[in-house]
Amino acid sequence: MAQEEIQKQVGHLGRATNLRFLDEGARLEFEVADDSAAETAARIAELAQRILRSLRSLRRSVVYRSPRFDAPEFAGDGVREGVHGMCRGLVALEGLPLRLLRYFDRVFEEFGHAWHAEPLAAPSLIPVSVLARCDYLRSFPHSLTFACHLAEDPDRIEGFRQRHLERETVDDRALADMPPPDTALNPAMCYHVYNLKAGQELPPAGEVYGLCGHCFRYEAGNLRDLRRLWDFTLREVVFLGRREDVLARRDEAIAKTARFLEAHELAGEIRTASDPFFVAPDALAKTYFQLSAETKYEVSLLLPGSERLAVGSLNYHTDFFGRAFNVTVEGAGPMHSVCVGFGLERWVYAFLAQHGPDPRRWPGPVRAAAEVQGST
Full domain range(s) for residue 2: 1-57
Q: d(Cα 199, Cα 183) in Å, to the nearest integer?
A: 21
Q: Is residue 197 one of the residues assigned to a domain?
A: yes
Please give the C-alpha separations between residue 289 and each of 58, 250, 275, 295, 328, in angstroms, as whole numbers. 10, 19, 11, 8, 24
pLDDT of residue 330: 98
Q: Is residue 133 one of the residues assigned to a domain?
A: no
44-53, 135-144, 297-306, 343-352: range with lowest mean pLDDT: 44-53
Same domain (yes/no): 274, 195: yes
CATH code for position 118: 3.30.930.10
User: Per this entry, what is the length of the chain?
Assistant: 376
Same domain (yes/no): 48, 195: no
Same domain (yes/no): 215, 284: yes
Q: Which of the four pLDDT bands, split at 50, 70 and 90, describes residue 22?
A: confident
Which of 252, 246, 247, 249 shows the shortest CA–CA distance to 329?
A: 246
Specify the higher pLDDT residue, 361 or 41. Answer: 361
Same domain (yes/no): 251, 237: yes
Q: d(Cα 10, Cα 16) in Å, to the nearest integer?
A: 7
Q: Is residue 160 one of the residues assigned to a domain?
A: no
pLDDT of residue 373: 87
Same domain (yes/no): 279, 219: yes
Q: What is the pLDDT of residues 200-231, one digit of tens each?
A: 999 999 999 999 999 999 988 778 899 999 99
Same domain (yes/no): 77, 10: no
Q: Is residue 134 one of the residues assigned to a domain?
A: no
Bridge partners (DSSP) of residue 213 are 234
Q: Which of the four pLDDT bands, split at 50, 70 and 90, describes residue 114?
A: very high
Same domain (yes/no): 10, 73: no
Residues with Cβ < 8 Å from 224, sequence gap 6 or more?
A: none
pLDDT surpassing 70 at residue 376: no
Specify the higher pLDDT residue, 96 or 286. Answer: 96
Same domain (yes/no): 192, 53: no
Q: Which of the four pLDDT bands, split at 50, 70 and 90, describes residue 374?
A: low
Q: Is residue 145 one of the residues assigned to a domain?
A: no
Sequence-ordered alpha helix ranges (H) in 127-169 = 128-133, 136-139, 154-163
Same domain (yes/no): 7, 112: no
Other CB atoms within 10 Å distance of the CB of residue 112:
22
pLDDT of residue 58: 67
pLDDT of residue 276: 56
Same domain (yes/no): 25, 74: no
Q: pTM, whole model, 2 decimals? A: 0.87
Structural domain ending residue among the three candidates 39, 57, 75 = 57
Q: Is residue 254 one of the residues assigned to a domain?
A: yes
Averaged pLDDT of the chain: 90
Percent of the chain at pLDDT > 90 equals: 71
Same domain (yes/no): 17, 50: yes
Q: What is the pLDDT of residues 194-205, one digit of tens each?
A: 999 999 999 999
Same domain (yes/no): 336, 281: yes
26-35, 57-66, 155-164, 362-371: range with lowest mean pLDDT: 26-35
Q: What is the mean pLDDT of residues 102-113?
A: 97
pLDDT surpassing 80 at residue 17: no
Q: Is residue 169 one of the residues assigned to a domain?
A: no
The 3-state DSSP class for residue 294 equals coil
pLDDT of residue 12: 67
13-17, 42-46, 79-83, 92-96: range with lowest mean pLDDT: 13-17
Spatial contact of 238 and 325, defined as CB atoms under 8 Å apart: no
Q: Is residue 174 one of the residues assigned to a domain?
A: no
Structural domain ending residue among the three candidates 57, 79, 98 = 57
Q: Which of the four pLDDT bands, split at 50, 70 and 90, describes residue 280?
A: low
The domain tally of the chain equals: 2
105-109, 278-282, 371-375: range with lowest mean pLDDT: 278-282
Q: d(Cα 270, Cα 251) in Å, to the nearest integer?
A: 11
Residues with Cβ < 8 Å from 36, sequence gap 6 or more?
A: 14, 15
Other CB atoms within 10 Å distance of the CB of residue 29:
10
